Amino acid sequence: MKKALFALFAMVFFTSMIFAGGASESSAAVVTNADKPLVFYNRQPSDPVTGEIDMDAMNHNSATYYVGFDAAGGGAVQGQMIVDYLTQNAVDRNGDGVLGYVLAIGDVGHNDSKARTEGIRKALGTWNGTTDPGIVKDGELTVNGKSYKVVELDSRAMTGTDGSTWNANAATDAMLNWATRLGNQIDFVVSNNDGMAMGMLQASNYPAGVPIFGYDANADALEAIVAGTLTGTVTQNADAQAEATLRVLRNLMDGLSGDDAITVGITKADQYGNKISADFMYVPETKALLAMNAPVTSANAADLATGARDAGIKQLPSEVPSKRVILTVYNASDNFLSTQYVPALQYYAPLMNIVLNVVQGDGQNESNSLDRFENLGNYDGYAINLVRTNSAQDYINKIENS
Ligand code: BGC
């Protein structure tokens, strides 16, 4: 094992030595589509049931990576934020000694959604070994020396009538139903993203003042925290992820490999002084480069709401050759992607001399994205946001047969 690790390290070190200095050489003309860089982002190739990472897809070629954020860490951040709030505020509305909550799951087959459900349930003691809706146990929490039972009253995936996941309208409908059915048993509300949390707040019978927590730090969610309607959210740093998705591609299209592909301009400055300001972690086993999460409450929402771009990334000089990338977005209407991620991609791509062709899907049919993932010879690299997390091979087949 040690020997293998050493050999791998030596290989990575050696290849990065070979390519060091060749950063601005264009090699696209001679690269076959199958050898071109491929970055999956936001929706990690994985089994929708077990969450197991699709390593066949990740090993498509040596220039295949996933860029996302620390999903498990984020779930824990969200869970802790909720527990911190509960232990500082008395929320037992009907005084029955039970802290009841409802949970908007999002997409039961998506690793980000699973990680949040797990993080929340573990923090609240309701975790019963699975992220499935409804399979929970009672937890316990001590607030001001008094012990409360914690009960997940209900949870739902939140699939829209059109089949799309993370659906805010479904969350509004669920909340209408929950508020009527469960009344003041609901002491707090948890959502695995801001889009659904804002959807729940839209319910005409939303119990005023009941704490509600989301995830993503979308602009409207930050405003709602400042206004006092949303209680908290978590930022997964969309800017950092968008920057890294593009920068990993840029590095690979420039011929960098090994360590350099995932560090140059990211965790260490490139030759022009560009470096992403945020921190990252790299998981070699899954070829995943991950941004970090942070809790957002009334204490810091206003600072984030300025939406400032990363000053660490400046325009690359014009002698750095322009590269073309086709990038798919699983759902044009996804709250997080359309208000945060895609605008960030569009801001940073020109700074990195990348011309992006963005293909926006409908969030339910893979073919809607896949059919328009075409003319692959015209591009130097590919970025994919899967509709179904187990469909990576469909894109790879298309790349290999083009
Ligand atoms: C975000 C969700 C979004 C999903 C799309 C998640 O990381 O938190 O808001 O709907 O990505 O894949």
Q: Is the same domain home to 46 and 162?
A: no
Q: Is the same domain home to 269 and 206?
A: no
Q: Is the pLDDT of residue 341 over 90?
A: yes
Q: Which residues contact 216 (CB under 8 A, 6 or more apart)?
A: 193, 194, 195, 233, 234, 235, 236, 238, 335, 336, 340
Q: Is the same domain home to 384 and 258?
A: yes
Mean pLDDT, range 361-381, rounded to an integer:
97
Ligand 1 atom nearest residue 334's Cα:
10
Ligand 1 center from residue 221 Cα (angstroms): 14
Rounded to whole angstroms, how far apart are CA atoms 178 and 155?
A: 10
Ligand 1 center from residue 392 Cα (angstroms): 18
Residue 59 in any domain: the answer is yes
Q: Which of 322, 349, 99, 335 is nearest to 214 (CA)?
A: 335
pLDDT the model gives residue 30: 73
Domain closes at, from 187, 207, 235: 235
| CB-CB neighbours of 312 under 10 Å | 16
Mean pLDDT, range 107-133, rounded to an integer:
96
Q: Give the three-state DSSP class for 388.
A: coil
Rounded to whole angstroms, how far apart are CA atoms 37 and 45?
A: 16
Q: Is the same domain home to 295 and 362?
A: yes
User: Atom 6 in ligand 1: which residue has the minimum CA distance?
Assistant: 112
Mean pLDDT, range 136-160, rounded to an integer:
96
State both tokens at 14: 């050696």
For residues 284 and 40, the answer to whether their CB atoms sit within 8 Å is no
Q: Is the same domain home to 288 and 313?
A: yes
User: Atom 11 in ligand 1: which residue has the minimum CA distance?
Assistant: 42
pLDDT the model gives residue 15: 40
Ligand 1 atom nearest residue 116's Cα:
8
Rounded to whole angstroms, how far apart are CA atoms 401 and 71?
A: 33
- 291 sits in which H/E element: strand 288-291
Residue 11 in any domain: the answer is no
Q: Is the same domain home to 128 and 40?
A: no
Q: Is the pLDDT of residue 180 over 70?
A: yes
Ligand 1 center from residue 8 Cα (angstroms): 34
Q: Is the same domain home to 277 and 362?
A: yes
Domain closes at, from 235, 269, 300: 235
- 149 sits in which H/E element: strand 146-156
Q: Is the same domain home to 379 and 290?
A: yes
Ligand 1 atom nearest residue 193's Cα:
9
Residue 29: pLDDT band with limits 50, 70, 90: low
State both tokens at 126: 């309701």
Number of domains observed in the structure of the chain: 2
Q: Is the pLDDT of residue 273 over 50?
A: yes
Rounded to whole angstroms, how far apart are CA atoms 242 and 312?
A: 14
Domain closes at, from 184, 212, 235: 235
Rounded to whole angstroms, how far apart are CA atoms 31 and 402?
A: 13
Mean pLDDT, range 74-88, rounded to an integer:
97
Quote the percentage of the chain above a pLDDT of 70: 93
Among 43, 335, 337, say which to mutate for ligand 1: greatest number of ligand atoms within 8 Å of CB: 337
Supply φ then ψ for residue 142, to 5 degrees: -100, 120
Rounded to whole angstroms, how far apart are CA atoms 124 and 293?
A: 19
Ligand 1 atom nearest residue 215's Cα:
8
Residue 315 in any domain: the answer is yes
pLDDT digits (tens, 9 = 90+) for 43-58: 999 999 999 999 999 9
Q: Is the same domain home to 217 and 90?
A: yes
Q: Is the pLDDT of residue 105 over 60?
A: yes
Q: Is the pLDDT of residue 4 over 90?
A: no
Q: Give the three-state DSSP class for 132.
A: coil
| CB-CB neighbours of 41 under 10 Å | 27
Q: Is the pLDDT of residue 19 over 60?
A: no
Q: Pocket around ligand 1: residues whose beta carbon is below 6 Å from it?
A: 42-43, 112, 166, 193, 195, 215-216, 334-337
DSSP string across 12-37: HHHHHHHHTT-TT---GGG--GGGS-
Cross-strand bridge partners of residue 147: 142
Which of the pair, 30 or 13, is modelled with greater confidence? Answer: 30
Of 3-7, 59-63, 144-148, 207-211, the one with minimum mean pLDDT is 3-7
Among 40, 42, 67, say which to mutate for ligand 1: greatest number of ligand atoms within 8 Å of CB: 42
User: Atom 7 in ligand 1: which residue has the minimum CA distance?
Assistant: 112
Ligand 1 center from residue 149 Cα (angstroms): 30
pLDDT the model gives residue 54: 98
Q: Which alpha helices (H) appear in 184-279, and where do they start and end?
A: 194-201, 219-227, 238-253, 258-263
Q: Is the same domain home to 213 and 295?
A: no
Of 20-29, 99-108, 253-262, the one with minimum mean pLDDT is 20-29
Ligand 1 center from residue 236 Cα (angstroms): 10
Ligand 1 atom nearest residue 192's Cα:
8
Q: Which of 61, 52, 43, 22 is nearest to 321 (CA)?
A: 22
pLDDT the model gives residue 369: 98
pLDDT digits (tens, 9 = 90+) for 300-334: 999 999 889 999 999 999 999 999 999 999 999 99
Among 336, 339, 388, 389, say which to mutate for ligand 1: greatest number of ligand atoms within 8 Å of CB: 336
Q: Is the same domain home to 268 and 375?
A: yes
Ligand 1 center from residue 167 Cα (angstroms): 11
Range of the domain at 387: 33-70+238-396
Mean pLDDT, range 88-95, rounded to an integer:
92
Which residue matches tokens 């005023």? 208
Rounded to whole angstroms, how far apart are CA atoms 207 and 201?
A: 9
Residue 90: pLDDT band with limits 50, 70, 90: confident
Mean pLDDT over the full length of the chain: 93
